[in-house]
Each structure stands twice: as C-alpha cells, then as structure tokens.
Amino acid sequence: MTRYIERFRAHAIILGLMATSILPVGYVIGGVRELPAPGSVPRITETDALSSNQNSSSNQNSSSNQNSDPNRMTPELLWKLQRVGESSVSPDGSAVAFTARSYVLAENKGISDLHLLDLDSETDSTILSGWPSIEAPQWIGSEGDFTLYFLGVHPDDDAGESQVYTWKIGQDQPKKITAFEGGLANLKVSPTGKHLAYTLDVKMDATVNEVYEDLPLADARIIDSLMFRHWNAWHDYAYSHLHVAEIGPDGIAAPGQDVMAGMRADCPVPPFAGSEHFNWAADGKEIAYTTKISPKMAESTDSDVYLVKIDNLTTSVCITNGQDGYDNDPVYSPDGKYLAYHSMMRPGFEADRNRIMIYDRSTGSVRDLTIGLDQAATGSTWLPDSSGLIFNSDYRGTVQLFKIMLNSQGATQVTKGQSDFHIAAIMPNGKQLLATKNDMIRAPELAMVDLETSDDQMLSHLNDAVFASLELPTVEARFVEGTDGKQIHCWVIYPPGFDPKSEQTYPMLTYCQGGPQGQISQFFSYRWNFHLMAANGYVVLAPNRRGLPGFGRQWNDQISGDWGGQAMKDLLSTTDSMLNEKYIDKKRVGAIGASFGGYSVYWLMGNAADRFSAMIAHCGVFNMESMYASTEELFFVNWDLGGPYWKNDSIRQKYERFSPNRFINNWKTPLLVIHSEKDFRVPINQGIEAFTTAQIEDVPSRFLYFPNEGHWVQKPQNGVLWHRVFFQWLHEHCGPQSK
C-alpha cells in the first residue's frame, strides 16, 4: 500500500496540510496571578484568588514558588503534550490512521490532527491538522481501493457540528458525506461500506415551557423520577439513539433510520461508554447494540445486548434476558459464528468481574469463556481466524494484554513489563497487534506487539522531543505487609536525581486512589500526574490498597461495606513503612486524593492526622448520609455502603463508624478542598461541608471551586490553575526545603 500512502501524502502537501510537528504556542495565561499565602490576608476571597488585573509573575512569594526548572515537567508542559486518540489499521496491514489531540492553552481549547503512519517505511505524516475535532478513523475497502472514513468538525464549519467525511486514495481532499442536523457521534462504518451506524440525540420528553405554552419564561423542571441528572449534566429531554443510514451510489449518506424509535433509553449507555457499545456483523447484515431499560434506572446496572437486522431495523431482540448485571461491548467474530460481549454477574455492583461471554449465533447458547479466571476483561478483540480473543486486564499494578482461546481453558499473558497496554487492533496477519503503551513517566503512544515473543516496538513518537529534554523521575514497586499479614503492592515514584545514599531528605505524598475500585496501574494522568509531582521534589507513595482490582476478586471486593476499615489500615501501613526510610522527612508528608481518595483524605484528617502536615481532597465524600441522599447512581452507594442509612441499625452503625464528618474534633492538618459545581456523582455539598467545617474549627484551609467542571477538571486553563493551587498548598505546608 506504500504507493497509495505516498499519493495520500502528496495531496496533503498540496493542500498545505502537512505538518512536521503540531506544538501549540502561547502558553502564558494572562490575568491569573499566584494566590497569596495563607495568613497574608484575612481570608481568601474570589477576587483575591483570581484577579484579572495582575500578571501571574508579579505577585509571588518565596513560600509558594513552584518548580521553575526548565528540565522538569510543569503543568503548562503537561498540557503541551499531544494525546494519541483512536486508530485504524488499513485492510492490508501496511498503514495506520490515528488521531492526536493537542491544546492551545491561551485559547482554552483543543485541536485535532489526523496522522498516517506508513508501517513499511516507519514514517508518520500529519495529513490533516488544526480541526476542532477528528474522531473514529476507519479504513474500508480492499487492495487498490481503500477509503478512509472519519468523524470530524471542519475548521470552516461555524455550527461546529460533527459530520462524516471520506478520503479516498486519489482525492484531493476529504469529502463530506453527511449533513445531519445537530451533528452525529460514535461512527461505525459497515464492513461492506454500504451503511453507516451512528448515534443521534432524539428529544422525547417535554420541557416545562412545552407543557405550559402560556408560560414561555418559566424557568423550572418538573421531576417525577430519579436519574434526572447524571455525573455532570442534567437530563436534556433527549436520548442517544442508534441510527443506520445507507450510503448512496454517489457516496452520500441518505437520511438515517432510528433503530431505537420510541425507546426512552440510550446507546451508548451513559455516562462513559462510546462506540464500543455497538458493532457490525462481518457481513454487514446485523448490528448488536447495548442499552439499559429499567423502571429504576438509578438503582440498576442491568444493561442488555440487543440484535437488529439491517433489513428489519424496527425489530430488536434481546439476547441477555435474565442476566441482571452489566452486559455490554458486543463484538462479532470474523467468521460470523459468534458474538462476544462483556458481562458482570452481580446486579448492582458496578465493579464486579467483567467476564467474556460467547453467544453462538446458530444455537443461541451462551457460555462464559473466562470461567475460573480471577481477573477482569475489557477491550475484547477477536483474532482474525476467530479462534480466540485478546483482552485488556488489570494485573498486579499494570494493565496487560491476554489471549484466550475458544477451545482451551485459561488465558495467556501477551505483554509484559512495567507499563500499561490497551489493545487498539489486531493486525490482519494475526501475528501482531496494535496497542497504546504508557507508564507513569511517559504519555501513551502507539506500539506494535508481537503475539509470539511479547516484544513491543514504539510506532508513534508524538512527544519524544518533549521528554528527551526532561530530567525524569524513577518508579519502583514496593511491597508492604498489612495489619492482617497480606502484602500490599505500592508504586513509589522518586524525584529526578534521587539518590537514596545521600543525606538529602525529601517530602512525601501518600496518594489515595479513588474508585473506590480502580487499580493504580502505570497510568499517565493529566491531573494526578506522578511525574509532575516527583518533578516538584516529592517522593510519591501510591499504594494498591484493599479494594483495588488487579490482585484478585477477594482483594477487590474487600472495600465494599468497609470504607473506613482495612483499606485505611493499608494506607497507614504503607505510609508508616515509607516513614522509616531515612530519606523521607517525617515532618513534611501530605495525603492527597480524589473521589474515594478524597474520602480517604477526610477520613485520615480525623483518624491519623499526626502523620501528615498537609491534606488535599478533590471531590471527596465528607458526609456519607448527605452523600447518599444527593448522589445520582444509587446502585453504587447501595452496594458499597449497604443501602440507605435509615434502613437498619447495622447499616446506620457503619455510616457512623466510617463517615469522616464524625471525626471533625480531631481535625488540625491544613486542608485544601477542591470541588466542582457540576459534580453530581459526589455533589458539591460534600466539599462545602468539609470546607465550612475546617473554617469553623480554625483549621488552615482553602476552597478551590470550579463552577463549570464536573467530577474531573477538563478545561485547559482550569487544569493549569488546579495544579498551581495544588502545588502552592503543598509547597507551603510540606514542600521541598530551599537549597
């Protein structure tokens, strides 16, 4: 296919679309200054925190100076990194199309590029650049007749609507083939190239103004059931429905048909799923999709897999009746005989073991392919000969790829090493696979993995130039004995230049993981970035405490109903173990975390504050009773907390034993509270209650409030502000000593 790639590249050059590097400029944020140190003003006010009239370099003090070493990672540099997106392998296996996202910090926005990676020559070309959005690249066709489909927002589209484009070898520029009002999402092209599957929002519920037409200025909602808001958004009276559109002889898509017409349900199932929730059969004649229909949406995890024929899009058949946990991610075998999907056995438990189920399309029988495995599966992808699948799995503090065959028991580990791998595709030859690879030090890039030798080779190099100029931290695994004799796996991240034999001592951060079930793998986070923390002079301790996956079901399940129990003991055991090291300054130790990690920080405030000199809780649970009555996904708190606190004395006693607000009389450690208005998972009242409590108790405290963010901080300048306030607080209360 190399000659076709060259033609692709040539047309890109003619259009002026080729770029050797896309590194946004203009990273100075005007109008944001350093926050004053606590005590320098009577109280931190909104005006004090974000003045629009002073430059960020004009009002610093020695106690809040942050890392300015040009050879170290910074918050601004973190946002300069390009982020690998979705990818697609050409049918002949000679090229990979993939997207990359970068951010223009000064403009507070992101831009997307489309890359073409020639595997024969190992060259990477940017064939489209600077689009507001490019997603879902997909190759369709055979040798000599390849077409690249993708979903994008064109730079000249003032409406900002995402539409489908095709780029056929020999064309000068991409061709827009849809013009659907409002734009579309989650594109999947039929393997035959004859149809598009995608999702559109379909409005089905009436607003107050539509019910009472004579009150056009009324500003209210009438709510009759739960799940009226979810994670970071209120219900918008619409539902995401799967649609199918035929592509005409002229290459333009006809108006699509709603596969889920009349259903008050969503595909993909919110809040986080994407196009993995539906897939085409290899012959293009059937689609399997996921949706959730329940009379009590807030209390149920019962999603199901449905099948629909292309020649009868009005009739869907559920194949997972009687399976009341999560069932999702359907994917057909290449030979058309089977459909694999993920399934959780225990209803209401969102962190149950994800199994791989095999549905025989001829007999309708279903079997658990992963029976007996003490690990979960995600991203399941069929081998080209339909003999088995490759899947991702949390494994001993990493994410590794495993192979499982239809006709044998057990799974074989494919990848290895101190990295996280996530499968992107299996090469047509069946001998290699495309994956993303990353660790705590470097952001994800594309890699090729040999299925026989487990060797991997990096393919993309988007951020090599950035990391080549940096002094890098080091990471090692550490095992600590818990109070019950079990071994607790920890990651320890050391600052650049760390020497355990020197006389230098370092401040330490105990990182408390959220979830509460979410492994501390070799992830590269753009918020809780261990590389950045170490670059600022901290030793970071990240324990895989009780309740985290990757260490067996028993270890994972132990958190449920025991929030303030063994998991907190594990955090303290690992912290105390590190405090015995001569290179740790026992007087400069912080505890940090978000979500359940924020809960952990609040709990430690009242139960182990003597070990810590600074605390930071982001979107944490402070008051378990008010949390239960104000969150949205009740199945989560019903499983993990046992149900409502008023249900019986046993549950009420657990709330009283484990809720951080019960221990405020012990609070004394300086506390930074970070919370967002649009966090409906752990609502804003939790952060307000914690900050108010600290203020009343005269505990040194600060509240960083984001009115337009959710459980995560996603806007670029908000992200930089988050890190500036985060590190200023740490530096003031437990930071590195001046040299």
Decide: 164 and 178 in contact? Cβ < 8 Å: yes
The residue whose two tokens read 């090469």 is: 427
**Residues with Cβ < 8 Å from 234, sequence gap 6 or more?**
221, 228
Closest by CA position to 690, among listed 669, 708, 715, 712: 669
State how far the Cα of 22 lies from the Cα of 110, in Å rounded to an integer: 12
Q: Cis peptide before 516, with omega less than 30 degrees from 0? A: yes
The residue whose two tokens read 């804003």 is: 684
- The maximal CA–CA distance of the chain, rounded, in angstroms, is 78
Active site residue 595: yes
Decide: 674 and 710 in contact? Cβ < 8 Å: no
Query: b/e for 543-557, b at 16 or more Cβ within 10 A?
Result: bbbbbbbbbeeebbb
Closest by CA position to 166, among listed 109, 126, 114: 114
The answer to whether the Cα torsion of 666, 668, 670, 673 is positive or negative is positive
Task: Classify burial at 246, counting beta carbons within 10 Å of its beta carbon; exposed 0-12, middle 13-18, buried 19 or more.
Answer: middle
State how far the Cα of 377 lies from the Cα of 357, in Å rounded to an integer: 11
Per DSSP, 458 falls in state E
Closest by CA position to 547, among listed 591, 611, 509, 595: 595
DSSP per-residue codes, 33-86: -PPPPTTSSSS--HHHHS-SSS-TTSS--GGG-----TTS--HHHHTTS-EEEE
Catalytic residue, candidates 489, 711, 723, 731: 711
Residue 563, CB-side half-sphere exposure with 13 Å CA sphere: 32
- CA geometry: angle at 231 spanning 688 and 714, to 5°? 80
**Residues with Cβ < 8 Å from 145, sequence gap 6 or more?**
169
Catalytic residue, candidates 112, 595, 613, 676: 595
Residues constituting the chain: 739
State how far the Cα of 590 lies from the Cα of 574, in Å rounded to an integer: 13
Catalytic residue, candidates 113, 570, 679, 731: 679
Cα–Cα distances (Å) from 314 to 30, 188, 405, in that order, read 55, 19, 35
Query: b/e for 112-149, b at 16 or more Cβ within 10 A?
Result: bbbbbbbbeeeebbbbbbbbebbbbbbbbeeeeebbbb
Closest by CA position to 521, among listed 513, 509, 531: 513
Q: Tokens standing for 327?
A: 């069932």
DSSP 3-state of 166: strand
N-to-C CA span, the chain: 58
Q: Cis peptide before 271, with omega less than 30 degrees from 0? A: yes
Active-site residues, by number, are: 595, 679, 711
